[in-house]
Amino acid sequence: MVNSQISDFRSDTVTKPTPEMLAAMAAADVGDDVLGDDPTVKKLEETAAALFGKGGGMFVPSGSMGNQVSIAAQTRPGDEIIIDENAHIFLYEAGALARVPAVQSRTLKSKNGALDPAEVEAAIRPDDVHDPRTSLVAVEQTHLMSGGRVVPLENLQQIRAIANRYKLRVHCDGARIFNASIASGVPVREYAKNFDSLTFCLSKGLSCPVGSIVVGDAAFLKEAHRVRKWMGGGMRQSGYLAACGIVALRSMIDRLADDHRNAGRLAELICEIPNITIDPKDVTTNIVFIETRAGRAKILEAALHAEGVWCFALGPSLLRLVTHRHIGAREIEHAAAAFVKISKLNLD
């Protein structure tokens, strides 16, 4: 290692619990959540449901499980869902759509995560015995593969209106929906009005060690609990983990603005470095995407790693850096200096 300092930009999932969270874990009143009697889990679920204006919530081990449980609870095997071709649910959940809910995907191109309402409507199957049944539209907020962009509320309202017209359900992968809310000023409750189900992560920017929450109405949650059970997602004294989530929802949301500012600062510092492309105006939340020429992303990832700056190559020409509460001014300066240094090296 050339540089002993480590600045870990790989993901906001690397965040560790705060001292307040650890204290809450130690003091948590717990029961058996599968039997429905863990009071701390219940409090977390009720807090989340109230925040999003939904009938109830369900604690799950991961965002991926939350997405798959939500879709399986609202579809039947053989149904078709409409989804962005670059959605996390479609790209990065190990083909679970085909294995868990057993649905097929009608993929559409989005613009910075926003599906074209006209294309969504055109993709809905006719009621014909030869066609799969279109039953659900899935959206994502923020949208990872557009660099953490916020999908406009108006677009989501248009999708909701179409779904209502055709009696479809709408699910939101809201892993970073609090980032969207902080960046846009739109309360999460306003976003949630457009979805029958929504999952959000506690273990990303909110700094919890484990867990996500699914919210929706009572009928949906009854089926979702059944799906969680057959997926093996029922936990016992999970109140120890839920205690962190209660702290997070009380104290970790507003500070996400710091992550957004740090991401923007990094983009400003490196935008003029040769052989990479980044527009600071495109960095609106805590995700920084950097384009380079094809085949070079892995080389840059390794060179940055040697300088103590950890990040991910998401493809042959794309680097991703994510800011979070363990990334401050020092780490931003460290990363910028590393980019400057490796730009002067012959890495090809």
Over residues 199-211, the mean pLDDT reads 98
Q: What pLDDT is attached to residue 295?
A: 85
State the pTM of this model: 0.96
Does 348 have pLDDT greater than 80? no
- Domain CATH number, residue 93: 3.40.640.10
Total domains in the fold of the chain = 2
CB 191 within 8 A of CB 172: yes
Over residues 17-24, the mean pLDDT reads 98
Q: Let me know if residue 1 belongs to a domain.
A: no
Percent of the chain with pLDDT over 70: 98
One domain, residues 132 and 266: no
Does 169 have pLDDT greater than 70? yes
Over residues 16-28, the mean pLDDT reads 98
- Domain CATH number, residue 309: 3.90.1150.10
Does 252 have pLDDT greater than 90? yes
**Residues 125, 260: Cα–Cα separation, whole Å:** 40
Q: Let me know if residue 2 belongs to a domain.
A: no
Residue 4 confidence class, pLDDT cut points 50, 70, 90? low
CB 271 within 8 A of CB 263: no
Give the domain range for residue 324.
7-14+255-343
One domain, residues 148 and 289: no
Q: What pLDDT is attached to residue 3?
A: 56
Q: Estimate to the nearest angstrom the gap between the alpha carbon of 14 and the chain centroid.
A: 14
Average pLDDT, the chain: 96
Over residues 166-189, the mean pLDDT reads 98
One domain, residues 202 and 286: no
CB-based contacts of 92: which residues, under 8 Å, 6+ apart?
Answer: 64
Over residues 120-136, the mean pLDDT reads 97
One domain, residues 98 and 203: yes
One domain, residues 115 and 164: yes
Does 2 have pLDDT greater than 50? no
One domain, residues 241 and 263: no
**Residues 339, 348: Cα–Cα separation, whole Å:** 15
Q: What pLDDT is attached to residue 1?
A: 41
Span 268-285, pLDDT tens digits:
999 999 989 999 999 999
Residue 16 confidence class, pLDDT cut points 50, 70, 90? very high
Q: Which of 217, 251, 285 is the last residue of a domain?
A: 251
Does 344 have pLDDT greater than 90? no
Span 232-249, pLDDT tens digits:
999 999 999 999 999 999
What is the full DSSP assignment across 155-214? HHHHHHHHHHHHT-EEEEE-TTHHHHHHHH---HHHHHTT-SEEEEESSSTT--SS-EEE
The strand pairing partners of 146, in sequence order, are none
